[in-house]
Structure formats: C-alpha cells, structure tokens
A and B are shown apart, each in its own frame.
Chain A
Amino acid sequence: MNRLRRKLCLGLAGAALPWCAPVLAAGERAKRIYIITFRGRTQVEQGFRAYLASQGRPLEYIERDLNRDSSRFPALLEEIRRLRPDLVLTWGTTVTEGIVGRYDAVDPRVHITDIPVLFTLVAAPVSAGLVPSLSASGRNLTGVYHVASTESQVRAMGAYRRFRRVGVLYTPTENNSLAILRELQQIGASQGFQVEARPFRLDGAGRPVIDGVARLLGEMKAAGAEWLYLSPDSFLGAHCKEVVIPLAHGLGLPTFASTEQIMEAGALAGLISRYHSIGQFTGYKAAQILFAGQAPSRMPIETLSRYSFLIRMAVARSLHLVPPLAMFDSAEFIE
C-alpha cells in the first residue's frame, strides 16, 4: 500500500519540480513584466520578485504607480499596448479594474485583453466583478486574493474568545462589504451567533460619512456585541486608525482585523496574509504563466493556505482580554 501511495506522491512532487529547480538557460530572452502599483511600493512586489529571482530565469521589470489617481489609466494602457510586455501585474482592485475591466463590461478598445494580466492583493475578486468565479476567469486574467475566508476568520475570532454576537460596520454602497455581511449572517445562522450590523450614514450625494459612528458602536455594544469585526471594506479601512478602532476599544469592544492594513491600524487581533507571502504566491503564478505555458483563463484564483494570526498585546491587556494560552505557540505578537 505504501508503494501505491508513493507512486501517487511521486506524481504530485513531479508536478511541483519545475519550480524547485532553478535552471538558468543561457541566451534565453528576458521576459518583461509590467507592474502597476496603487500607492507606491509594498512588500507584495518584493515577495513577487524574490520568488521569481529564485527561479533563476532572466526577467525585466517595468514599474509604474497609479498613486491613487485614476486619471493616469489611459496613459498606462497606452504604454502597455506600446511596450507589449509578457505579463502585466496589477496591485489591488482599483488598478485591476482599470486595466482589465469588470468581466461583464470588457471593452477591448480600452482594456487589455491580449496580454496575460495577473492581479494580486484583491480582497474579493468575485464581488468586485473581476471574475465570475474563483475556479477560473475565462479570460486572459488570473490572480491571487489575500483575505482569508470569512469562515476561517470567524473561527479564529472564536478561538480567541467565543462569542454569540458580533458587530459589523458596513458601507451600504459597497458591493464587497454587503457580500461579506451576507456571508457572515449565513455563517452565524449555521453556527449560532447573531450579527449586529450597522451601515455607515450616507450624505446627500450617497457617499458614506464617518459622522455618527460613535453612536453606531454604542448601539452595538448595548445590543451585546462581543467583537467588532472589521471587514475589508475600503471606506471602513480608511477610518479604522483614527476613528473606529479607538472608539471601539474605548467602549471595551475588541476588534478583529481582516487585512494587514486594518491590523496595522491598531486592531486587537487579526487573521491576515503577510504581503510578502502574497507576493511570493503571485510570483509562483507568474512563473506558471511565463515558463510553464499555463493559460491564465484556466488557472484558479487562489489565496494562501496559511495565515498569520496577529495579536496586539497592549490592547489585549487594556481590554482585559488576554489571548488563550495555545496562541502563544503559533500567533505573532505586536507590543
């Protein structure tokens, strides 16, 4: 029986082998990768380049930054068409959507369709409309998302402290935010916890505003919420550090972060992907496209298999919520 298993495993190991063996082919034409970041350099591109460097193949990088300015898209698109790189790497949802468009609204005159595009650090590629499903995009696009499944985040939150009621702030105009809220409510229904959801207020133009968030958090706390789950909602993310997290902790409401950015904003705990790891995984995908001839249209859209559990000890002590003993084995602590 062991032999039988061995056979199977040989097959599996064999499939991974090309990526383990750095082969430097002499005289090989360098592949060109066009990288577009959203807000300057991050650990993601470092991990990406580190992984590819370990493959020992000649590569050439062209780096561009959107600098949060959507008006730069036409120039970037024009440059991509002119330079014709072997692969385009897009950082985040905004950049990706600007380069390839939503899957149901692709305009070949505007968007890139004939060059493989690899996205990274997109929180929710399906609800963002980039791909119809995670199994494959069906077009010249694949990528890596970075948010752990809502279910594993719920599990991690429960492992820190069991709860029966969790608070969520959401932006009613953000699809992604609504999708995660629905998912959380479904999980709650099956696992037996309540979701205390409160939408941000909208101004006259239908844009969310942060005013009144203190009242929302107070309501949540009064309703018996034991955690505040900070979902990968971009409006929420922008106000976590200054407003939401300090207010929540002031009310004695512990916070759980879904992204590294929110964790850095001061949350008590979070199950997050390290940007460097995400970059490495993206590099692995790039190698599959560039050197193994895989078609992006048929590649699954995936995320890491292991996340980092981060805990901010100072907050834990001030909230009198010390981490369970078992977490001192595996979690990472921020003082």
Chain B
Amino acid sequence: MTSQKTPLAPLLIALALSLLFALGMASLLNYYKFGNTLAGLARANVAVAAQDVRESLALSLSVGMDLSALEGMPALLARQTHVDPSIVAIRMGDMQGRGLYASDPEAARQPLPGAWLQAARAAKGEGWHLGGEGEMETVGWVLRNNFDLPVALLGIDYSTRQVAAGKEALFPVLLRVTLGTLAAALALGAPLLFLLRRLTRRQEKLAFRASVLISLVTLAGLLTVSWLAIPLFERHLLPKLEQNARQSGQIEAELIQRAMAHGLALEELYGVDEVLRRDLAGNRGLASFAVLDAGGRTLFHEAREGAEDEHSILVPIAAGGSVRVGLDGAFAAGLVKEMSLDILVVLVVALCFTLEVLAFLPVAAGRSDDPLARSRDVRAPAFLFFLSEELSRPFLPGFVSSLSGQVDAGLQNIVIGLPIMVFMLVVAVSQPWLGALSQRFGNRRLLLGGALAAIAGFLLCAMATSIYLFILARMVCALGYAAIFVAAQGHILENTEESSRSAGFALFVGAIMVATICGPSIGGILADNIGARATFMVAAGVAALAVPLMLRLPGGRGRAQQEGGRRVRLADAFHLFRNRRFLALCVSAAIPAKILLTGCCFFLLPLYVISIGSTQTMAGRMLMVYAVFMVLMMPLAARYADRLNARSGFILAGLLISALGGLLALGVDGFWLGAGMVVALGLGQSLSITAQSTLVSRVAAREIQVLGDGYVYGVYRLLERLGNASGPLLAGVLLTLFGFRVTFVCMGLLALLAGAVFYWVIVRPGAGGAAEVAP
C-alpha cells in the first residue's frame, strides 16, 4: 500500500472537529465558572449586610419588642445599604407580605412582592434567592422568633451589573485565547498528521494512530486554554476579591471596636484567632487575617493552608490598630483546578468524536470492496441522533420535577417518572407500525421523518411550560427515536449480506454505545451551565446536524422488515409463554434488567445525585461511567460467555452483581452509593445482556423452528421494552413510599429475587434440562 491512497482531508477534519469541540467546551466551562464565582462572591457580600439586621431583630424580639414597633429598624436598614455598593434596597415585612420597614422610607408600607412570599415558602431553610428582571436580583431570609415560628421576611435587592460587567469584560479576552489556541493547535497538529500519514506504512493502523495523535494535540490545547485562563481569572476577579477583603476586614474591625467600647484594650482581647479562622473559612479567595496594633505590630494572625498571601488590604479600627486582610494568590488557579474533572470528560468525549469522525470518513478511502461501506453511512447520523437523545439523561428527572409544581405532592415522584415511562412505552408500541412504514416509504424517509420529529420534540421540550406539554413533547421525541431505530436497522439489513450482517449491526450498536458515553456527561455539564432548556435546544441542533448526513443515504422503498416478517403483538407472547424457560428468561432476566436500567440509572440516579446536593454534571459523569463499563465489558463478556458455554452463568452473575448495586444502599450513602451503583449495574448489565439474547435461541429453539427467529426475538424485544417502561413507574412508586435508600434496596432485592427464579428454572441442575443444549 502506498501513502497517496489515503487522503489527508478526513484526518484534518477530525482534528479540527475535535479541537473545536474540546476548546469550545473548555471555554464555555471557564466562562461559566468565572461568572458563577463572581456571582457567588457578590451574593456573599450582600448576605453580610443582612447579618446585622437578623441579629438585631432576634435581640429585639427576645426582649419582648413587637415586630411592628422596632424604632431603630429603618435607620439600620438604611445604614446596611452602604455595606456593599451593589445593594439597591432592603425591605422587611411580615409573613403575610405586609411591608413593615424599608431602607427607603417611602417603600416601607408597600406590600412585599408576591414572588418573595413564594420563594420564602419554597426555601426549606431560611435563605432564598430570586433572579429578578434585568440586572436586579434578590436574596432573602425567613426570620424566626425564639420559638422557631417564622415571623418576618427580609429581602435585599441588589444589582448584578458588576457581575454582568465582569463577564462582559472577560468574554472577548477568553474568546481570543480560545481562537488563538485553536489556531496554534491546528498549526501544530496538521503537519504532525501529515508526517504520521507518511510514516505509517500499514493503513489499518493509521486511523488508530491518528486518533491518538489528535487526542494528544487536543489535550495540549485543553491544557493551554486552562493555563491561560488562570491569569485572566486573576485579573478579572481581583476587584471583587479586594472588595470582599475590605468588607470582611471592616466587619472584623467593627467587632473589635465593639469589644473595645466595653473598655477592653486590643491586647486584652480573647478568642480573636477563633473569629479570624471562622471568617477565613467563610471567605473563599482570602488567604489571611491579622490584627495589628497602632504601631503596626502583629497581635493576632491566621492564614489559610496552601494559600498564597499575595497582597493585602489594611482596614483601620476606630479605637486604634487595624485589621490586615490578605488576598489568596492561588485562588484563580484553584478555580481552574476545580474544573479538571470536567476537562477530562471533555477530552474523553473529544476522543470518541474523533473515532466517530474517522469511522465516518474512512481513512482508507476508495476501498469499494468494504462490505460494510453502506452500513457505515448510517452510523454517523445515527450517532448524532442518539447523542442528542442522551444529552438529556442526567437532568431530565430534575427538570421534570421543576415542572411538576402543580402536581399533588404525594404523587410527585410517580409523575416525575411519567415522561421516561411514556417515552419507553411509545418506543415499545410504535416499533411494529414503524416497521410497516419503513416498508412503505423506505428507510431514508423514515430516518428523515424520525429526525424531524425528534428536532420538533426537543424544541417542544425546551419550551414546555407544564408537565403535560413536556410529556407530549417526549412522546414526539419517542416517535422520532423509534423511527430512527427501526430505519437505521432496516438500512443495515438492506445493505448487508448474511455474512456481514452482525458486523453491520455491531457498527450500529457501537454508535449507540459511544453516544451513551458522550451524551450524558456533556449534557450534565451543559445543563449546569446554560440550563436544561438551552440544553434541549442544543439537542435539537445536534439532531439537526444528522439531517444532511441522512440526505446522502440512498432512497427508495424498504426491502426487508427488521426482526422478521410477522408483526409482533403482545397476544402472541402468551403463546410463547407455554415454554416455561422462555417465560423465565423474560420475566427473571430480560425485564428486571431493563427495570434496573430505566428505574435506577435513568430515573433514580439523577434525582438522587441532586438530592445529595451534587450537580447534574456529576449525574452525567456517573452515567458516563456506566456506559464506559458497558462498552469495555460487553464485548469481553459476550466472547467469554460463548467460549465458556456458560451463558446462563453469566446472566445469573450479572443479576447478582446488579442486585449488589441496589443493596449497597444498606451500608453506603451519598456519592459512593451513586458511584458504586453505576459500577455494579454497568458490570452486571454488561455480563448478562448479550448472553440473554443468545440464550433466547437456545431455550426457544423449537418455537424458532416453527415461528422463525425474527418472530421470537420480536416478542422478546417487546417484553424488554415493556420492562423499560415499567422501570420508572416502579421506582417512582417506591420512592414516594419509602425514599431513596429503601427504593435502591428494593431494586436490589428485585434483582436478587429475579436471580433466584432464574437459578431455579434455568440454571439449577435438573431444571428442565440444561439450557446450553445446542438447537
């Protein structure tokens, strides 16, 4: 083979796409991290202003003063507006929303905004936050009396102009850095790829080597962008940090002043270190606090471990002496470091993209003898489409719960499961009909129709204002999903011979698997940063990218229908159920496996991760771990199950390991429960899935001879899909009744029970004949 047979263009396109995606995501992450940090610092500042008000109110109430007759309150509120320049107004009212006091006397008696009351009711603890219109936000607190009864609402309106201005200032610089890095990485990567192509003699190895090279260049680009972000963060956060430092210093100076007003000298003060330590813990970005006497001698000093005391601010104490606050020089670097897990995820996804691009643009071009060439054509659009669907995995349940406010609290968890359930149900029942449609209109049209339905569905999801609209939108998505599923498989069936068919399907399954790795992880990051609705828009965009690729596919009518000639109906399943072992396989292995998948992974896990105070990004990462286990373990498990002729053993082991994932909740909690569960489920499912479908042909050998394998498998798949649909429902009911941990345990017990039944009917020696008898 000579090198001129390989065009350079696909490699360069792969490089460019990988870099574009990775650097784009990294910059997005940087931008939002910066914005969130700035907003957090601003909010912390504002909260300080409320502290005095709360203390003063508590004191007044405890000595028996009436809430509506606090003489000093208006002056105190007016004074507190000067604590931070972004504070616009402070207001206090009673729990019915009647206004009592305000920093602006004119506004004192006006009723409080209804949104305040709502937000305060929604806030379980004491604090609440409202993103207002334009550049105004409100932080508020529910104030309680000495016997814990809520008595008053305190709200502070503050301007976010400073935060917005900071983000605006950063944006062009960040963009320049990203584009510069992109150009540099391209300039570095292109010649390297050229060299690689020349140096690689064996074409089969080129794709692999090129993807390694592209990943390395991408990694270098990511590191560069992250490294360059540190000084940018430093420069743009500095004004806010200085402001926070000055404010913290001022508060300490006032506290010390209060003590000195009781006749204590600076040297006499006791417990200063404790206060300094507390304030350090509460103030990110500050490195040290010190109290100096009038002569500048350090009397008390506390420093944060690992912080770099770069420059400091001096705040005088009225009665003499001063407080020195040191800013942490390592703060910006720390922020960037916090993103390293996200960056790693981006890198993995970029690698997957590279592999997909290289698979789509065959590096060894012109090989018309490739029997899979036409199956390959459907892989890229299928990948893009499944990717768009997977994006919403980690945040869908959380988003639904935010829509389900109107729903009765008792039913809420069940309702949250509805969109997933309805989606799965639509996929299950629509497939046979879609098969008929593909025969009538051809796979290309069905693919396009599916993509259009999905795009419309995602857009509807993004705009849904109620849970009912959202369920409707998800039904449209499900139709699109099922259509593409059926049509892509039909396309492969049409364009492969008997001998290459399973390789063709493997391509298709590969696309789905890669999408399950990339989608949830990126979807979680996007949802946390740009919001769930915008992420649905992104999904619509990704699905739209698949359309031009679908248009390139050959048209015409479909030839064969997937999964055999006869349409499968649920009624037919009962006929097959006379075979007890087929029934046992479905009920004790196939259906529980799907219930665990949709119930635990798709429904419970995202909700659980949020409930323990973690992020949607984390839920996405966990789902990614699940997918990685599937991708790595499934081929291995399939090979060894076949080689060892021990399929039922693998299925049993898979069920038991899955059970372990749920039972983990007996002893573990929080992050490790989630992580342990995805690992156990990923391992368990990967062990059993392939073995299950192979075993079908063994336990139902006679039926297959009579009815055809397409028919038998059709029934089997239909039952699996019904399992998919019942997972969220079951999990939702359990969650409503028992809460998370017991629900996980129940799911584990379900798998355990299924394992026992499976063992009794199929594995147990003498259980109606060994399952492993060849047909």
Contacts and interface: CB of A to CB of B under 8 A. Distances in A.
A305 B146 CA distance: 6
14 contacts: A4-B404, A6-B405, A13-B95, A46-B64, A276-B62, A277-B147, A279-B64, A280-B147, A284-B147, A302-B147, A306-B62, A322-B259, A322-B269, A329-B55
Contacts of B95: 13, 16, 20
Contacts of B402: 1-3
A291 interface: no
A6 B402 CA distance: 10
B150 interface: yes
B140 to A, nearest CB: 14
Interface string B168-179: 000000000000
Contacts of A279: 64
Given A20-B94, A20-B95, A305 B147 contact: yes
A126 interface: no
A324 B270 CA distance: 5
Interface string A306-335: 111000010001000011111111101100
A9 interface: yes
B84 to A, nearest CB: 19
A223 interface: no
Interface in B507-553: none
A3 B401 contact: yes
Given A6-B121, A306-B58, A326-B271, A281 B146 contact: yes
Interface in A11-56: 11, 13, 16, 19-21, 43, 46-47, 50, 54
B401 A21 contact: no
A40 B278 CA distance: 45
B611 interface: yes
A43 B63 CA distance: 9
A323 B264 CA distance: 10
Interface string A50-70: 100010000000000000000
Top 10 nearest A-B pairs (CB, nearest first) are A324-B271, A276-B64, A6-B122, A305-B148, A277-B146, A7-B409, A281-B147, A3-B405, A328-B258, A304-B146
Interface residues of A, number: 48
Interface residues of B, number: 49
B412 interface: yes
Contacts of A54: 66
B122 A2 contact: yes
B61 interface: yes
A21 to B, nearest CB: 7
A8 interface: yes
A13 B121 contact: yes
Interface string B114-150: 0000100111100000000000000000001111111
Q: Which of A16, A273, A324, A327 lies at the interface centre, i.e. has the most chain B CB atoms within 10 A of its CB?
A: A324
B275 A325 contact: yes
Contacts of B405: 3, 6-7
A328 B404 contact: no
A205 interface: no
Given A4-B401, A50-B64, A322-B268, A274 B124 contact: no
Interface in B263-289: 263-264, 268-272, 274-275, 278
A83 interface: no
A148 to B, nearest CB: 12
A5 interface: yes
A220 B328 CA distance: 49
B412 A21 contact: no
B200 interface: no
Contacts of A20: 94-96
B610 interface: yes
Contact of A1 (B61, B118, B274, B611): B611
A4 B401 CA distance: 7
Contact of B259 (A1, A274, A276, A328): A328
Contacts of B258: 328-329
A312 to B, nearest CB: 11
Contacts of A4: 401, 404, 409, 412
Nearest to A329: B255
B336 interface: no
B684 interface: no
Given A1-B610, A325-B255, A277 B61 contact: yes
Contacts of A43: 64
B256 interface: yes
B274 A325 contact: yes
A105 interface: no
B409 to A, nearest CB: 4
A169 to B, nearest CB: 27
B607 interface: yes
A284 B256 contact: no
A324 B146 CA distance: 24
